[in-house]
Amino acid sequence: MRIKMRLSSILLERSESFFRLGKKTLCIFLLLGVFLGLAGCGFPFMGKSKAFVRENVDFGFVQKIAVLPVENNSKDEFAPELVRDITITRILAMKLFDVTDKGLVDSFLREEAIDPGKPLDVSTIKRLGQKLNVQSLLLTTLDIAADSRKGTMSYPEMSVTLRLLEVETGLVIWQAGGHQSGDSIWRRLFGLAGRDKYQVTVSLLEDILHTIPR
What residues contact 139, with CB distance under 8 A and at least 6 apart? 68, 71, 120, 162, 163, 164, 165
Residue 85 has pLDDT above 70, yes or no: yes
Q: What is the pLDDT of residue 187?
A: 58
Over residues 61-89, mean pLDDT: 97
Predicted confidence (pLDDT) at residue 73 exceeds the cutoff of 50? yes
Who contacts 193 (Cβ-Cβ below 8 Å, separation ≥6)? 187
Q: Are strands 136-150 and 64-67 parallel, antiparallel or unpaired?
A: parallel
Q: Which one is predicted more confidently, 178 or 193?
A: 178
More confident residue, 43 or 164: 164
Closest CA to 59 of 87, 95, 97: 97
**In the chain, where the domains are located:** 1-41, 43-209
Strands 98-99 and 172-181: unpaired
Confidence check: pLDDT of 74 > 50: yes
What kind and span of H or E run contains 36? helix 2-40
Whether 98 has a pLDDT exceeding 90, the answer reads yes
How confident is the model at residue 38, as a pLDDT? 39
Asked whether residue 88 carries a pLDDT value surpassing 90, the answer given is yes
Q: Residues of the chain with pLDDT > 90: what percent?
A: 61
| Of 110-114, 149-153, 167-171, minimum mean pLDDT range | 149-153
User: Could you tell me which residue, 123 or 214, shows the higher pLDDT?
Assistant: 123
Span 144-163, mean pLDDT?
Answer: 87
User: Domain 43-209, what architecture?
Assistant: 3-Layer(aba) Sandwich (3.40)
